[in-house]
Amino acid sequence: MNIKITGSGSYIPEIIQDNSKFLNNEFYDNEGNKIETPNEEIIQKFRKITGIRERRYAKDELNTSDIAFLAAKNAIENSKIDPETIDYIILAHNFGNTSNHTTQLDVFPSLAVRVKNLLKIKNPKCVAYDILFGCPGWLEGMIQGYGFIKAGMAKKCLIIGADTLSRVVDVSDRDSMIFADGAGATIIESTEEKGGVISHNTATYTDDEVFYLFYGKSFNPNAEQKTKYIKMRGRKVYEFALTNVPSAMKECLDKAHVDISEIKKILIHQANAKMDDAIVRRLFKLFNQDPPEKIMPLTVDRFGNSSVATVPTMFDLIVRGELDEHSIKKGDKIIFASVGAGMHINAMVYQL
């Protein structure tokens, strides 16, 4: 028995916000001091470092559970399965449903049960639950679903990653330019077909690293201070990722007995183009090799960092032939990898 992705779907929000959106922002540092550097210069430096030229935001009337449903619906249609045969719906997110009109996060009831309701699944044996695992949440959901199927507890699982980070950003913080909205989903099931999940690896670091990403007050000292926003110690995150992600990916490859030369694509969490490129270069250096061209697709330039949605969205676009210059075919071996709040790292070696 092998466990494979038999369907994928994504929802890319319609609202496009390019970098010019931030020209009139007042930016402050983490000490509450107004940054006097012209915004044109801030934005130019931001794009050079992150590669982000635009990002996607969800419409006001759509919540995280809504866009999760749309991605899930696409994945179910792509897989051609009966939704009543799904055993688990695992939905990864970080901030629940966050309306633009309230400062409260809504996770009661869970987003997964709302998605099940929207999908009109009646089967009570279809178990739906959320996971909070930072940006690696979708991939960890994949690992959990794989475990359920491997243990004989399930035959089909729907794994979703969805977030609306645009609603939890501090407009006075330069890091607000990184974050975006989106949703991606996959169906995994047991099959006699060759391939599927070969190995996986997860680690959690909670010493100094635990608050590299956190919920904090606005940098603007004149802003209302009861509301909190997503915050990031960018340099710390960057250094942590470069130190730990390549070795985690190598460990996953070693467990799979797969050489790096066999890998056709590396689908890594789309946080920062410069960071992702450095991670991949360090991974290949562990094998005393240089990365081949186009081994790592990038979507962060046009979609921004949509957290748990970045990897499944990218996978869906590639298998549908909608990501320029990137393709994968049956039999190809790829790596999924992610890093994020926790700090969590995970990786998976997968064969189509």
Catalytic residues: 135, 269, 305
End-to-end CA distance of the chain: 15
Burial class (CB in 10 A: 0-12, 13-18, 19+), 133: buried
Alpha-carbon distance 321 to 99, whole Å? Answer: 33
Calculate Rg over the CA atoms of the chain: 20
Structure tokens at 308: 């748990």
Structure tokens at 317: 């676009």
Alpha-carbon distance 278 to 293, whole Å? Answer: 14
Strand order in the sheet with 181-191: 2-11, 181-191, 156-164, 88-92, 127-131
Sign of CA dihedral 246, 251, 253, 257: positive
Alpha-carbon distance 321 to 328, whole Å? Answer: 9
214 pairs with which residues across the strands?
A: 231
Alpha-carbon distance 318 to 70, whole Å? Answer: 18
Alpha-carbon distance 118 to 95, whole Å? Answer: 20
Alpha-carbon distance 351 to 199, whole Å? Answer: 10
Alpha-carbon distance 149 to 188, whole Å? Answer: 9
Asked, as a colleague might, if the bond just before 142 is cis with ω within 30 of 0, I would say no
Residue with tokens 């915050």: 231
